[in-house]
Amino acid sequence: MVMEYWSGWFDHWFEKQHHTTSVEAFSDVLERILKFPASVNLYMFHGGTNFGFHNGANIQDEFPHYLADVTSYDYDAPLTETGDYTNKYYACKHIVAKYNKVLTKVPSSPVVSKKMAYKPISVTGQLNFNQIIDRIAPEDRTKSDSVVHMEKLPVNNGNGQSYGFVLYRHAEVAVRVNSTLQIKNGAFYDMGIVLLDGERKTEKLTSTSQLLQFGYWETKNAKLSLISASYGTRTLDILVENWGRVNFGVHATFDQRKGLLENTKILLDDEEVTGWEIVSLQFKSKWVNSLDAWGPVSSHMTAPTLFLATLQVDTPYDTFLDMRGWGRGAVFINGFNLGRYFSAGPTHSLYIPAPLLKTGTNHIVVFELFTAQAQLVFTDKPILGPE
């Protein structure tokens, strides 16, 4: 019994291209398995999508040691992410029929879903970073002398936070013109964005070489220069994103806690900062749908921001969002979390199944960390890697 015959492979962020396996190679191995004869389980027959923040991750011995999966789990499987037939599907069907000795009634194949490239829509509203945090409910806020990882926070009826982002805020830190922030005895799990009075001080992430710098899991005790216009009391925000938990391997080789761990000390000019407000940004559907009082869209983005756009639909069809030109973030359609996008690729689209759309007005919310666009663009096919 072949328990996992890999029909393709999945993708990690920063990889150069979408993983594929040729129809010929796939067919050759499948036929040899059945001819042996042996039983077989295909992984995957249909991969689908890592909706929400539910993507997994892997570890490896070399840099970068942690690899987060992309949102699409197309996997180059016999059925595509949208459930469409491929040449690999037809080859599989032919080979199975050839070696199947049991009389089997084969139903008619379902009709392939129609795909639609809806017209581009404009971004019409935004909420800046402080406005986002102001909308977080009291039960998702915690006071703590030191930093705490998200799973240990007393939220969700004491069950902790599982997914999303966690914010560590201190409203009164004394900052000099060239202060230095250090994450002592720890690192970020998995990406940290530092803001001073609502202005981002960490770089936009575009390449793996940056993972060795301040703000990521690779380097402990990293330092960041906080360049300020003048000496004074500032609000320090440290926003940490959970990129996804490792779902393969043995427990001893990885730590699944996310955010900043308890033994971590936050130093500002070599002095420990204590007395934090810790805010859970979980982006649950009810909260996303409750957002209102959207402001006008600014052309200058200095911090993570929420953007709003509306799509008018006569008939819902499968479609894809083309996120090329955006930086990194997540998209929500009528409150449903489609998943993450990232300019580092290889994938640059997000799949919207027709059942997530409704006739009439559909609200699309984008949480962008770095770089926004004035429009949202749709396509009728996925962008799984470089053309």
pLDDT tens readout for residues 95-112: 999 999 888 888 999 999
- The reply to whether CATH 2.20.28.120 applies to domain 129-281 is no
Q: Which residues contact 143 (CB under 8 A, 6 or more apart)?
A: 275, 276, 277, 278
Percent of the chain at pLDDT > 70 equals 99
Cβ atoms of 329 and 125 within 8 Å: the answer is no
Q: Is the pTM of this model over 0.85?
A: yes
DSSP symbols for 1-27: -EEEEESS---BTT-SS-----HHHHH
Q: What is the pLDDT of residue 387?
A: 60
Residue 163: which pLDDT band, with cuts at 50, 70 and 90? Answer: very high
pLDDT at position 228 over 80: no
Interatomic CA distance for residues 135 and 117, integer angstroms = 34
Q: What is the pLDDT of residues 247-261, one digit of tens each?
A: 888 777 778 999 999
Top-level class of domain 121-127+284-379: mainly beta
Q: 171: which strand partners?
A: none
Q: Cα-atom radius of gyration of the chain, to the nearest Å?
A: 23
Q: What tokens were used for 201?
A: 């001080």
Q: Indicate if 129-281 has the same CATH topology as 121-127+284-379.
A: yes
- For residue 273, which phi and psi values (nearest 5 degrees)? -95, 125
34-38, 227-231, 322-326, range with the lowest pLDDT: 227-231
Residue 335 half-sphere exposure toward CB, CA atoms < 13 A = 10
Domain ranges for the chain: 2-99, 121-127+284-379, 129-281
Q: Would you tell me how many other CB atoms lie within 10 Å of the CB of residue 184?
A: 15
Pairing outcome for strands 336-342 and 165-175: unpaired
Q: Which residue is it, tokens 């803001």?
A: 195
Q: What is the pLDDT of residue 369?
A: 98
Cβ atoms of 190 and 66 within 8 Å: the answer is yes
